[in-house]
Structure 1
Amino acid sequence: MSHTILIVEDDANIRQMLSIALGAEGYQCIDATSVREALSTFSQYHPDLVILDLGLPDGEGSEVLKRIRETSRLPILVLSARDQEIDKVDLLSRGANDYVSKPFGIRELVIRVKVLLRDFNPVVEPTMPTRKIGKIELDITERRLRIEGESIVLAPKEVQLLDELTKHPGAFISQKELLRRIWGLHHSEDTHYIRILVRQLRKKIDPFEKDLIETMPKQGYRIAVDKPEAN
């Protein structure tokens, strides 16, 4: 089944370029040129992914992001001329899944779209569907973390991060290595992605198991236990 992509961009040349490139990959593209039109089109067509420009004629694209996140977790790729790390961190913390700075390479953008669509409904084939470590049990298939009877629902990237950390409990994994494993080679320098993901996970986990994810400067992250328990 073909995926539908909503392109929210007021520059006609960029809209056309994206529509041609994504259409060639088999995606169905619809577009909007303002905040108001974007929200209306989103509600009408229920796209599978949104490419979102920040500077729109009637407001900020961040308002579109905020409104969509009130009802949906679909992938949102922000497209903007703003290239400061603080802008990227802010948008990612608000719920954007990826951020591409203008000017951009169309091939790279298409690859990022494919990765986002793949990861939104990932095919997880773990060697063990569940993994027990100390008090916690990670159910990779159901995307849940269980801690002494409490069940925490996880997002796909959160599952991937915990999957990597719990394979070798107690061992530190560097930020760059986690980026490579979870986001791919194109994001090996985007360390703020990991920081945001860890912060999100800690908000969910800390009420039940404080300091489960340990940070060590220049070494990375680890699950702070000595050894796994047998299933």
Structure 2
Amino acid sequence: SRRKMASTQRRPPISDVARRLLPLPTDNGWFRDLPEMLQAQVAVALETRARKRKGKEPIEELLWVGTPYLRTRTIILLFMLWSALLLLPTPFLVELLEHGGWWAIGWSIVSVFLFVPRTTRGSREAFVLTSYRAFASIRTMYCSIETSQLDYSDVTAARVTVNSDHTGTIELRSSLPEPSHNPRNPYVRDRVVVFDRVRDLRDACRVLNTVLPREIVES
């Protein structure tokens, strides 16, 4: 146990390891504006690829990072809806059902997992464009990290839409099989990476225009 504790104490922080493996654009405003947890998520994703492909390709360069953007009006509406759905059923549950108080407590817990993920996306999700791939890193409510990614060379379709709140949604799709795909399996599932509610749509599209295959950009 002492050896494990000593090795843990000697291990440098993730940010220090990432700085030695790859350059992080710490001087750029779009990276500094990220919450520290999202900076760590992005650094870990880049570090993982750098370790796996060390010596096989040049160092992956971070070109753009964004987060989902919710306008204040949308957040207020979500909280109003949450409050209404939380408070209105409570008297009926307490009065009409046996052990209604416990049902009300249970519903309040369920409502947290219904509404909080929608209002905290900006602090849990990062949309990233690098010199090799596009990926979305999402920290779930259970503190696990889910990552969907596509190399630009695998992208077979791209679509950009403008939402009613003046944000944009970018969808990158690939119909090519994954490297780990079993050739005996005739079914190939499309791989999709979605950047939803992007505020800085212009810069994201500018980067994509330079890294995506020409036939995808012109289509």
Indicate the structure whose relative CO is greater, using CA pairs within 8 Å and at least 6 residues apart. 2
Higher helix share: 2
TM class by shorter-chain length? under 0.3
